[in-house]
Amino acid sequence: MPHNAYRSLGKRLLVLGCLAAASCTQLPSVPPNKAVRVPSPNFDERRPNYVVLHQTTDNTADEALDTLTDPARKVSAHYLIGRDGTLYRLVDESRRAWHAGGSYWGGNTDMNSASIGIELDNNGDEPFAEAAIVRLLALLSDLKARYRIPQANFVGHGDIAPGRKVDPSAWFPWARLAAAGYGLWCPLPSEALPGVAAGGVEEVNGGLQILGYNAADPTAALAAFRRHFWGIESTAPPDRNDAAMLACLIQARSASPAPP
């Protein structure tokens, strides 16, 4: 019998002995706070599975670079895209950049560990420069292909930190990104649906949570949703338009193709 087979047999006998005994507390031969190191060659780098988009809320890329490289500020992103289309790489993709802060999306409470963060040079009160969006789309194509990131996992900072962050602003062209395969999208209803249906508040809150939002503060989550998917700033009560849009997006996510 080869050596590995003996080792495997020994492990099985140990397990059988453990199962037969009243308890397994005597099994480990090392102190319980120590691990037996048995290196395996079968691994690679951890993979980001989300992309979080930001705006710098500065007037120039240089201002943003000062902030994003200042040790005292403790903020960063993997990439910054200047409004002229220049791509700045600040943190290696294999490292955890500090762009999301306290965050939540779909049960994930540490988006910094799970995502690539991209800052866009934009002051938050202006359209996004065409050259920056063109460069962004090329970068997203590369990231999506390399990490096999699902279409639904391209989100904004405001989505994952409602009530705390509002970027990117309502100017951001989410529909254009979604048409290229980055993020979900549904067309606006052709006719506005007035009023709040009975049970509409619970329906909208439930839909926000299913989509991924932290709805602990329902007003903040709804405002983030409207900024992203309606392109408006609004804290009005939820209505049937929100419910219809959420239902459409949840359906779109389930229908979006799985990454190859």
What stretches of the chain show up as alpha helix (H) in DSSP? 3-20, 61-68, 111-114, 130-147, 157-160, 174-179, 200-211, 218-229, 240-255
| In the complex, minimum distance from the CB of residue 156 to Zn ion, in angstroms, rounded to a whole number | 8
Question: Does residue number 54 form part of the binding site for Zn ion (CB under 5 A)?
Answer: yes
Least distance to Zn ion, CB of residue 162, Å: 13
Q: Residue 217 is encoded by which pair of tokens? A: 């503060």
Pairing of strands 154-156, 87-89: unpaired
- Of positions 121, 159, 167, 239, contacts Zn ion by CB under 5 A: 167
112 vs 209, beta carbon nearer Zn ion:
112
Is 126 noted as a catalytic residue in this protein? no
157 binds Zn ion (CB under 5 A): yes
Could you say which of 45, 63, 93, 119 is catalytic? 119
Q: Bridge partners of 254?
A: none
96 binds Zn ion (CB under 5 A): no
Residues contacting Zn ion: total by CB under 5 A: 3
C-alpha span between 256 and 260 (Å, rounded): 12
> At closest approach, how far in Å is the CB of 167 from Zn ion?
4
Minimum CB separation from Zn ion for residue 228, in Å?
13
Q: How far is CA 40 from CA 2, 37, 44, in A?
A: 19, 9, 11
Active site residue ranges = 119
Residues found near Zn ion in the complex (CB under 5 A) = 54, 157, 167
